[in-house]
């Protein structure tokens, strides 16, 4: 988005031979108020790309919250790569959109 009313960021959280996970945040800025304390509407989600199938899924809302719980648990428990990839494979089953540009 190249709109002055938006502030966007993308952070790669995981990148392996089979999957890539990107956290995306977009804040819609109140264009009427130029104050630093202006209210913002913030949206966030996670894009999971299955490199083998060439498909991606974007998780937002409840799905993003569920995925965030997995990320929090991974930080606490240090799972193996196999455990992480198994979880990603379960979410990737939702993928129906073919990746056209990445």
Q: Is 60 exceeded by the pLDDT of residue 4?
A: no
Q: What is the pTM of this model?
A: 0.75
- For the chain, the C-alpha Rg in angstroms (whole number) is 16
pLDDT digits (tens, 9 = 90+) for 27-60: 666 555 555 666 566 778 999 999 999 999 999 9
Query: Cα 93 to chain center, whole Å?
Result: 16
Residue of 45, 86, 40 whose CA lies nearest to 62: 45
Greater pLDDT, 99 or 16: 16
């Amino acid at each position: 988005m190249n709109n002055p009313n938006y502030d966007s960021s993308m952070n790669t959280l995981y990148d392996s031979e089979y999957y890539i996970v990107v956290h995306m945040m977009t804040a819609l800025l109140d264009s009427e108020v130029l104050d630093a304390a202006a209210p913002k509407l913030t949206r966030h989600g996670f894009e999971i790309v299955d490199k083998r199938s060439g498909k991606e899924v974007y998780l937002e809302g409840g799905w993003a919250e569920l995925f965030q719980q997995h990320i929090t648990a991974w930080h606490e428990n240090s799972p193996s790569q196999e455990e992480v990839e198994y979880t990603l494979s379960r979410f990737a089953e939702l993928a129906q959109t073919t990746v056209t540009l990445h």
